[in-house]
Amino acid sequence: MQKILRSPKTAVLILASFSLIILIAVAFFNNASVKKTIKPMVSKRPERVSELYFSDYKAIPKQLEANHLYQVNFTVTNHEYRRKNYTYEATMVENNISTVIATESFFLNNNQSLQQQIQFRPAKKNAQIKIIVLLNGKQEIRFKAKT
């Protein structure tokens, strides 16, 4: 290898070839359609998520009274990088009997949050209660309590 590079003609030829390869690569990657094709493949895309959580989990009651009205707040936050429509359905399950207690739709812009309040009233004593909030039919939060 050293003998080949000692020749000035060979060194110039190798340098010229390498320079030509670099120029072709730069021209190729500066092409707009190539950039448009390759950029999504090598760029990290931000994760698109929607947050759903009880606004104050410490305020969620664990022991309930029959025929008493309760309120629980939950929050939805949009991190989808676009305006998004949300629909939630809140259900109370009392001793395995489900009752829809709230349904609503709303729009949120990216990074916008909305706090919603749901109300429920358990009817029976000594009942197992579950409150379930289902967002867009995909995400769910829930808690359990007893009367």
| pLDDT tens, position by position, 73-85 | 999 999 999 999 9
Look up the pTM and report it: 0.70
Cα-based distances in Å from 120 to 42, 72, 117, 142: 49, 9, 10, 13
Under CATH, what is the fold of the domain 49-146? Answer: Immunoglobulin-like (2.60.40)
Residue 59 DSSP one-character state: G
Question: What is the block-wise mean pLDDT of the chain (147 residues), using blocks of 10 residues?
Answer: 62 76 72 68 79 95 95 97 97 97 97 97 96 97 97
pLDDT score at 108 = 98
| Average pLDDT for the chain | 88
Per-domain residue ranges of the chain: 2-42, 49-146
Residue 36 and residue 87 in contact, taking contact as beta carbons nearer than 8 Å: no
